Amino acid sequence: MLTRLIACLRPFSALCLAGLLAACASTPSSNLGELPRTPQASIEQLLQQAGDSQSEQAELLRLAAADLAYRQNAPGRAISILEQVQLQSLKPAQQIFASTLRAELEMLRGKPKAALQAIGHPSLERLGELPVEQQVRSQLVRANALQADGQSLAAARERAFIAPLLSGESAKHNHEAIWTLVSSLPLTELQASGDSDLNGWLELARVSKSAGTLEQQQSAIDNWLAQNPEHPAALQLPAPLVELKQLASQSLSEIALLLPQDGQLASVARALRDGFLAAHYQAQQAGQNPPNIQLFDSSRIGSLDEFYRQAQASGVQLVIGPLEKPLVSQLNSREQLPITTLALNYSENAQEGPPQLFQFGLAAEDEAREVARRAWADGMRRAVALVPRGDWGDRVLAAFRQSWQAQGGTLIAAEHVDQPVELAQQIADLFQLRQSEARGKRLQNTLGSAVATAPSRRRDVDFIFLAATPQQAQQIKPTLAFQYAGDVPVYATSHLFTGTYNQAQYLDLNGIMFCETPWLLDANDPLRQQASSQWPQANGSLGRLYAMGADAYRLAPRLNQLKALPDTRIEGLSGSLSLNAAQRIQRQLPWAEFRDGQVQRLPDSVH
């Protein structure tokens, strides 16, 4: 009786609110109809009993048979039986049952939009008049469909509405699912809604995302708990937040920095090391109690096993490094690591590594994905690409193509740039200029006299994706203008920007938009100013490595925080940093544009 009363007092969704109020106001009306009963027979017996009859009783038997097939994991059989039922001839209760079952079957087929269409049947307005078990079943499939369709806020709302009716494992699963949904939302969507419980969930997600360090984050969560002691999330803290609380109590006192001091990567390693130590010194100056840093030379260690034995003996709690890709690949192939490790590169293979391994690097693929994200947000839909010839260009193009097409974009054509003498022909091919010239000649021959025609480029290209060196980019932009494509927007990776001021060079790049690290776009950043006063090269293209080193220091105490709250972002100097499912740090970058020989920062687009 109590659960029935709760069902009447609490609205579940806008969809069934009208029916719910009617149920609270009066007894169920006689035209509601009855639900199929749990059958004590096989599917065949139920269908045999239904026969060819179209009576209400026969339709109830068919619904029971379809439901039994679904429960017996025979979705194909369930669908074929359900299609024999005349939905419009059923009474509302039976329509709700049939629509819910149809939605469950569509979800099994991976079709959330079809499931939402099924569960959106008008009969669902009377869901509140049915037994609580049916209400729960209908709204759970609706919540699952909304989540699968990317409508996280609506799914969270549905689950918050239904939470008081659940118990046991179902309640625990629903509770954690609500947190998963709200914590995945961007800050812009964590605004107050019309429901107090959902508001509490959204506020908790907002405070957990807004705080900076792990300690600040935990303090913000503790304040929320003190202000909302009776909220369901306060009575049972979501598992990731319990884990976060444990992490906040674990101090990080010893870090090993594992980098090569000799060999081809020594200069790269020096920039990373100096950026890392600059961030460490800045923390000391700010009165923090930073961990002790132990330096290890990866070019001199006998083996990784030997290094980890040394590190453990020295009390190391976290390893930053190695930088060498073969060593990172070795680590990635292991099942376990003795110490949590943030590698400063990515392994060759994309297979899942050990749970203690995190990977962070300045991957060109990140920038290609960033171009795809930004161009799509700016309303672009059809692209052509210019990338360097060779393995690097192939990887960048593959990353762009995969990300661009996953969003729904079209890649019309791509050219690999190598020799400058070929550039004009390649751009002409991209924009089909030769076909335009040929049409003009044919017209001239037909008329037998000179005709004033200018070649015209194809008009279905929204933008050019460009990955190129500064020298290549200086040739490409003027060539585009010469080939009648100077008006096409160009979105580029950071590789065309040297980081130094060169007005003459930038004039040749006029109008090109490119993504870049905050380090090189913000000359006033205190850490950049401090580092570049000691190491002037930090102002140039090496600045990206100094930024990465500084961010490795900032990531060090927060790796498990990123793991516990996967949608957390850390605003770093190499980009806005987050952790993906493969435990690789991904960067989202700010944007700038070359304008009249100057670099102008562009406003951020909507994520």
Query: Domain of 180: which CATH number?
Result: 1.25.40.650
Count other Cβ atoms within 10 Å, centred on residue 288.
11
The Cα–Cα gap between 77 and 67 comes to: 10
Would residue 607 count as lying in a domain? no
Are 483 and 346 part of one and the same domain? no
Are 351 and 371 part of one and the same domain? no
323 with 272: CB under 8 angstroms? yes
Would residue 168 count as lying in a domain? yes
Give the end of a domain, one of 107, 135, 150: 150
Instruction: With CA atoms as reference, report the closest residue to 553 among 184, 267, 283, 198.
Output: 283
The Cα–Cα gap between 58 and 292 comes to: 77
Model pLDDT, residue 562: 85
Are 347 and 423 part of one and the same domain? no
Are 402 and 438 part of one and the same domain? yes
Task: Give the CATH number of the domain where residue 507 resides.
Answer: 3.40.50.2300
Are 241 and 282 part of one and the same domain? no
Would residue 570 count as lying in a domain? yes
Count other Cβ atoms within 10 Å, centred on residue 31.
9
The Cα–Cα gap between 537 and 500 comes to: 10
Model pLDDT, residue 218: 84
Please give the sequence-ordered ranges of beta strands (E in DSSP) within 500-603, or none if there are none: 513-515, 570-571, 576-579, 585-588, 591-595, 598-602
Model pLDDT, residue 424: 63
The tally of domains found in the chain comes to 4
Are 44 and 127 part of one and the same domain? yes
Give the end of a domain, one of 249, 267, 297: 249
Would residue 581 count as lying in a domain? no
Give alpha helix (H) positions in 411-494. Answer: 420-430, 433-447, 470-482
Model pLDDT, residue 30: 58
Are 294 and 405 part of one and the same domain? no
Would residue 542 count as lying in a domain? yes
Would residue 399 count as lying in a domain? yes
Are 315 and 459 part of one and the same domain? no
Task: Give the CATH number of the domain where residue 124 resides.
Answer: 1.25.40.10
Token pair in block for residue 128: 């509140």
Distances (CA, A) of 371 to 167, 367, 478, 516: 46, 6, 21, 11
Q: What range defines the domain where residue 423 resides? A: 365-516+592-602
Which residues, other chains included, contact 408 with Cβ-Cβ below 8 Å and sequence gap of 6+? Answer: 376, 381
Give the end of a domain, one of 194, 219, 249: 249
Would residue 580 count as lying in a domain? no
Model pLDDT, residue 116: 95
Are 36 and 144 part of one and the same domain? yes
Are 238 and 198 part of one and the same domain? yes
0.85 exceeded by the pTM?
no
Are 10 and 145 part of one and the same domain? yes
199 with 182: CB under 8 angstroms? no
Residues in the chain with pLDDT values less than 50:
1-29, 433-457, 606-607
Would residue 146 count as lying in a domain? yes
Token pair in block for residue 204: 């908790």
372 with 401: CB under 8 angstroms? no
The Cα–Cα gap between 54 and 426 comes to: 69
Are 409 and 338 part of one and the same domain? no
